[in-house]
Amino acid sequence: MTKQDKENLKNKKLTDSLLISCLAACEPVISKNAYLEKKWANCEQSYNGCYEYERLEWMKHREKLRSLLLPIYSMKMIIQRTKGCKDKATQKEVLEVIGLIDKNDYKLV
């Protein structure tokens, strides 16, 4: 995440680049949990659905972020920009953005 994005986050301003960097951070978490969910699916004792729960939570976050970008960009463009993003946000920053969205305490810039 760039310094400008961090500054915007502090001021509760959500920009396209901030949302894209958050989306880029969601993808590896979703992929990792999907992999672990599949890996441990047949092992009843140690697998208790935590990977599935985590994956679904991050998929909800991804949908919230995408819903803010969909009026401006097509889904294809959002996916392309997400894959091309170099400055990913941290998971903590993503959760901070999701918190702002849930509280409706942000300004879309």
pTM of the model: 0.90
Q: Are 3 and 93 in contact (CB under 8 A)?
A: no
Residue type, 35: Y
- Mean pLDDT estimate for the chain: 93
Can you count the helices (H) and strands (E) in the chain?
5, 2
Domain segments of the chain as ranges: 3-108
Predicted confidence (pLDDT) per residue in 45-82, tens digit: 666 688 899 999 999 999 999 999 999 999 999 999 99
